[in-house]
Amino acid sequence: MSGTQDLALPERRRRAGGGMTAVRELGILIALAVVVGVTALVNPLFLSGQGIRDLLLNACLVALLTVGQTMVVITRNVDLSVGSVLGFSAFLTGDTFSVDPALAIVVGIGVGALCGLLNGALVAAGKVPSLVVTLGTLYVIRGLDYAWAQGRQINAANLPDGFLALGSAGVLGVPYLVIITVIVLAVAALHLSSYRSGRELYAIGSNPEAAVLVGIPVGRRVFTAFLVSGAVAGLAGVLWAARYGTVDATAGTGLELQVVSAVVVGGVAIFGGSGTVVGAALGALLLTTIGSALEVLHITAFWQQAITGALLLAAIALDRAVALRQAAALRRQSRGVSA
Amino acid sequence: MVIALAEVSKSFGAVRALREVSLTLTAGRAHALLGENGAGKSTLIKVLAGVHRPDSGQLLLDGAPARFASPADAKAAGVAVIYQEPTLFGDLSVAENVAMGRHPTRRGGMIDVAAMREQAEELFARLGVDIDPRRPARGLSIADQQLVEIAKALGSDARVIIMDEPTAALSGTEVRRLFGVVGALREHGAAVLFVSHRIDEVFELCQEATVLRDGGFVWSGPLHEQTPDSVVRLMVGRDLDALFPKQEVAAGETVLSVRRLTREGVFTDVSFDVKAGEILALAGLVGAGRSEIARAVFGVDKPDGGQVLVRGKRIRAGSPGAAMSAGIGFVPEDRRQQGLVLDASIERNAALASLNRLSRLGFVRSRDERSLARDWAVKLQLKFAHLTDPVAVLSGGNQQKVVLAKWLSRRPAVLIVDEPTRGIDVGTKAEVHRLLSELAAQGVAILMISSELPEVLGMADRVLVVREGRTVAELARAEADEERIVLAATGVAVA
């Protein structure tokens, strides 16, 4: 048993919550540097001020959604409804703007929270698997969106400039959208790493039965994770309307899969228990950057999807390989010493 | 009195796990809960822990009726439980495992990571063990996991501490330390409920005891009124021979040979033979690696080294299909998870391992499926309403018969049974034992894993004792007794 001392993980890695998250974040940053470097060599415009701005703005909406998704996935669940929630929220925001701008923002976030509440209640109280629940609400909410829109489209002309500025203007050159995303990210990261209710989400995903036995209110925590995911998707909807100005009932279609991909690439274990929001956001940034880079390099959109998929598989293969090696090493060591 | 149960009953489906059991725990005293496996000890513990709600009877907290709606309620009332099977969070650090649910926080509610680690270090120091609080819980040995569990319970400042077989995986010095800590807790006014199969430990640590048998209350009182012998008689309370109708069979030629089978960190250099007509029992403590050996023999887990031979022919490692073709059948430990498809019908489950034989051009002929199931239902005296009923509605014993039917219909040369009578009522238990005995008489080589010593002693021709992944003793039927097995399994002398 004395040999367990040797197994201590470096401080940096332990604090991150899972074993290997910091390593993962470093890996993503390297991948990011490679993609940006190669693309900039071919087309220097990629690194212009405007280029970087566009990149960040595009990444922000996905990154924002990964924050809520990460909290849900950590508890061994998944929220597939985020794309629909974003779409519905964006449309309602656009519609209520003529009534009252502040109200519009509240309505957007509120509708998202309401959707999250529905998901959370069905999963936590109804004990229905989240994959099924949120697949259902994905279609239901998109349906509501279509019914509400009735073929209409909201144009930038319908929205006041002050609101649109949310999506483009900023402080000292940093767009508001980026600032909002970073704030949400920071709050969530702090909560997950340093507050009881945050750590309990990891415990739930790591071993649900044991979580019940140590007295964690599992149902309430899972419910809250879905509520947050919904509210964040609502906020992302508001920002979507501000960023693009044009909203129809198809806004955000298919976004949920991008978000789940980003979360997994970012090192959040799909079976819960480990991963960070920062890793997930970096995953979103990497995927978006690859998308933009391929455009700049004039590679067709078909390849973009194939590359996203390949990256996802590579990330999972890496996780699996590392986990197996770790398990084997730990097994060998704890037995080898005590026997 | 701190906490008490008054005439508590609890049933799971048709199985009455507890029948009007009463128990009183007093501050400053250690109380032993005794009984054989399946006597209802775990159910009773889970009632006290808030996991199960009693069907009838009362839970009394400081003399007043109380109700634990969840484990959180029990924790809030000051009840801490050390479960037999560790319940750790593999992804989180050891320190966080110890702190989970009551992290030390700074002002503003932020977790104080340094204090959390110090807390864990302090608890480990009290227990005299050296575990790094920063490492992840995943990969800890069973003994270390158990120690983390104990630290978890000690850290919660509980008034009632329940320990379900805490010493099963511990070494002698660790047990001594634990007893020292329990003594100190008692002096501080905690009530302790202690479950152990080691009778000498019980007499050393506890002042009073309650004995259960088959879910019913047998005796409760101060331990000095009893002797180890008299307590064991209270626990067993029935004639052992009646329960184990073992037929004497002349062993035939060797059917199953296992040679130097190794899975790193799990078990090492395991070799044994099983002859036709012989029942070989693997005995040992929970976590010693017995089930893991069985899984590797059947090919569920791939061994790192060694080989498995059936009738001298080597079978491909890590392939249950190859093991089945070679004539091995495997009745797993957890029949609900691994042995059955609970929602599928009795006939579907019974035919599941014989689909090759029952199908033509890839289509399963359901008439043959049904006749197979009907034949075996009659042979095994299965109690059921319709063969089309889902297996989930059957009692535990009858479910186990369906699992047996599934394998027996393949006429296996080797049958591996892992805890064949776990969670089965006494009557059906005897039937399962009779069945295994008959199979051996027909020439099947049987490898049996059992944590119930009476079952091992009653059924086995030979006993192989496993400790920490190694075979440490082989005892013939004539020389096997409870004391020798426990001695070999624990490496600790019994009084």
Contact A338 B143 (CB under 8 A): yes
Residue of A nearest to B49 (CA): A213
Instruction: Enter the DSSP assignment of A276.
Output: -
pLDDT at A26 over 90: no
pLDDT for the residue numbered B495: 39
pLDDT tens per residue, range B191-229: 999 988 777 888 888 999 999 987 889 899 999 998 877
Q: Which of A210, A214, A330 sits opposite B139 (nearest CB)?
A: A330
| Percentage with pLDDT > 90 across chain B | 36
pLDDT for the residue numbered B377: 86
Q: Mind listing the domains of chain A with CATH numbers?
A: 12-332 (1.10.3470)
Angle between helices B142-154 and B113-127 (to 10 degrees): 110
Grade residue A110 by pLDDT with cuts at 50, 70 and 90: very high
Q: Which of B81, B136, B265 sits opposite A331 (nearest CB)?
A: B265
Kindly provide the ipTM of the predicted complex, given to two decimals: 0.82
Residue of B nearest to A199 (CA): B100
Q: Which of B111, B132, B141 sits opposite A194 (nearest CB)?
A: B111
Quote the minimal CA–CA distance from A123 to chain B in Å: 19
Chain Cα centroid distance, residue A6: 35
Residue of B nearest to A217 (CA): B72
pLDDT at A9 over 50: no
> Pseudo-torsion of CA A284, A288, A290, A291, nearest 10°?
140
Contact B132 A338 (CB under 8 A): no
Residues recorded for chain A: 339
pLDDT tens per residue, range A194-208: 999 999 999 999 999
pLDDT at B494 over 70: no
pLDDT at B236 over 80: no
pLDDT for the residue numbered A75: 96
pLDDT tens per residue, range B426-452: 667 778 888 899 899 999 999 999 887
Express the helix, strand and coil content of chain A in percent, nearest 5 each. Answer: 80, 0, 20
Grade residue B260 by pLDDT with cuts at 50, 70 and 90: very high
Strands B462-467 vs B363-364: parallel, antiparallel or unpaired: unpaired
pLDDT for the residue numbered A3: 37
- Structure tokens belonging to residue B480: 């096997």
Whether B90 and B163 have beta carbons less than 8 Å apart is answered as: no
Residues of A in contact with B131 (CB under 8 A): 1, 4
Quote the minimal CA–CA distance from B220 to chain A in Å: 28
Contact B265 A217 (CB under 8 A): no
d(CA B228, CA B233): 9
Whether B39 and B216 have beta carbons less than 8 Å apart is answered as: no
Residues of B in contact with A206 (CB under 8 A): 89-92
Contact A5 B132 (CB under 8 A): yes
Q: What is the mean pLDDT of residues B228-256?
A: 74
| Non-local CB neighbours of B118 within 8 Å, separated by 6+ positions | none
Whether B286 and B146 have beta carbons less than 8 Å apart is answered as: no
- Structure tokens belonging to residue A241: 């309307």
Q: Which of A5, A20, A197, A207 to mutate to test the interface with B (most CBs of B within 10 A)?
A: A207
d(CA B185, CA B182): 5
- Structure tokens belonging to residue A107: 């309505």
pLDDT tens per residue, range B459-489: 899 999 998 889 999 999 888 887 788 778 7
Residues of A in contact with B88 (CB under 8 A): 207, 210
Strands B328-331 vs B414-418: parallel, antiparallel or unpaired: parallel
Residue A31, helix vs strand vs coil? helix
pLDDT tens per residue, range B292-327: 999 999 999 999 999 999 999 999 988 999 999 999
Contact B134 A18 (CB under 8 A): no
Q: Which of A214, A324, A330, A332 to mutate to test the interface with B (most CBs of B within 10 A)?
A: A214
pLDDT for the residue numbered B14: 65
Residues of B in contact with A9 (CB under 8 A): 134-136
Between B266 and A12, residue with greater pLDDT: B266
pLDDT tens per residue, range A98-108: 778 788 899 99
pLDDT for the residue numbered A189: 95
pLDDT tens per residue, range B357-380: 888 888 888 888 888 888 888 888
CA atoms within 13 A on the CB side of B118: 7
Phi, psi of B423 (to 5 degrees): 70, 25
- Structure tokens belonging to residue A309: 């998929």
Q: What is the mean pLDDT of residues B347-353?
A: 87
For A70-92, letters b (16+ CB in 10 Å) and e give bbbbbbbbbbbbbbbbbbbbbbb
Residue of A nearest to B135 (CA): A8
- The DSSP bridge partners found for residue B164 are B195
Contact B89 A216 (CB under 8 A): no
| Non-local CB neighbours of B176 within 8 Å, separated by 6+ positions | none
Contact B92 A4 (CB under 8 A): no
- Structure tokens belonging to residue A211: 């979580």
pLDDT for the residue numbered B238: 57
Residue in the structure block whose two tokens are 């069907």: B55
Grade residue B387 by pLDDT with cuts at 50, 70 and 90: confident
Phi, psi of B31 (to 5 degrees): -115, 130
Most confident of the ranges A136-140, B31-35, B124-128, B352-356: A136-140
Whether A53 and A175 have beta carbons less than 8 Å apart is answered as: yes
Between A302 and B19, residue with greater pLDDT: B19
The domain limits of chain B are 3-88+140-237, 242-490
pLDDT for the residue numbered B429: 78
Contact B138 A327 (CB under 8 A): yes
Quote the minimal CA–CA distance from A110 to chain B in Å: 27
Quote the minimal CA–CA distance from A194 to chain B in Å: 5
Between CA A287 and CA A298, with CA A292 as vertex, the angle to 5 degrees is 130
- Structure tokens belonging to residue B259: 């040679």
Q: Distance of CA A102 to CAs A114, A229, B5, Å?
A: 18, 22, 58
pLDDT at A12 over 50: no
Give the class (CATH, top level) of B3-88+140-237: alpha beta
Contact B71 A214 (CB under 8 A): yes
- Structure tokens belonging to residue A234: 């609502």
Helix or strand (DSSP H, E) at A294? helix A277-296
Contact A203 B100 (CB under 8 A): yes
Grade residue A2 by pLDDT with cuts at 50, 70 and 90: very low
Residue of B nearest to A335 (CA): B265
Grade residue A301 by pLDDT with cuts at 50, 70 and 90: confident
Contact B91 A19 (CB under 8 A): yes
d(CA B223, CA B373): 51
Residue of B nearest to A333 (CA): B265
Residue of A nearest to B70 (CA): A215
Residue of B nearest to A208 (CA): B89
In the predicted model, what is the mean pLDDT of chain B?
86
Write out chain B in H/E/C secondary structure. CCEEEEEEEEEECCEEEEEEEEEEECCCCEEEEECCCCCCHHHHHHHHCCCCCCCEEEEEECCEEECCCCHHHHHHCCEEEECCCCCCCCCCEHHHHHHCCCCCECCCCEECHHHHHHHHHHHHHHHCCCCCCCCECCCCCHHHHHHHHHHHHHCCCCCEEEEECCCCCCCHHHHHHHHHHHHHHHHCCCEEEEECCCHHHHHHHCCEEEEEECCEEEEEEEHHHCCHHHHHHHHHCCCHHHHCCCCCCCCCCEEEEEEEEEECCCEEEEEEEEECCCEEEEEECCCCCHHHHHHHHHCCCCCCEEEEEECCEEECCCCHHHHHHCCEEEECCCHHHHHCCCCCEHHHHHHHHHHHHHEECCEECHHHHHHHHHHHHHHCCCCCCCCCCEHHHCCHHHHHHHHHHHHHCCCCCEEEEECCCCCCCHHHHHHHHHHHHHHHHCCCEEEEECCCHHHHHHHCCEEEEEECCEEEEEEECCCCCHHHHHHHHHCCCCC
Lowest mean pLDDT among A156-160, A334-338, B91-95: A334-338
Residue in the structure block whose two tokens are 């730990």: A330
B3-88+140-237 and B242-490 have identical folds: yes
In the predicted model, what is the mean pLDDT of chain A?
85
Residue A128, helix vs strand vs coil? coil
Contact B132 A212 (CB under 8 A): no
pLDDT for the residue numbered A4: 36
Phi, psi of A141 (to 5 degrees): -70, -40
Quote the minimal CA–CA distance from A289 to chain B in Å: 31
Grade residue B49 by pLDDT with cuts at 50, 70 and 90: very high
Residue of B nearest to A203 (CA): B89
Q: How many other C-beta atoms lie within 10 A of the C-beta of residue A107?
A: 21
Contact B130 A4 (CB under 8 A): yes
d(CA A316, CA B218): 55
Give the class (CATH, top level) of B242-490: alpha beta
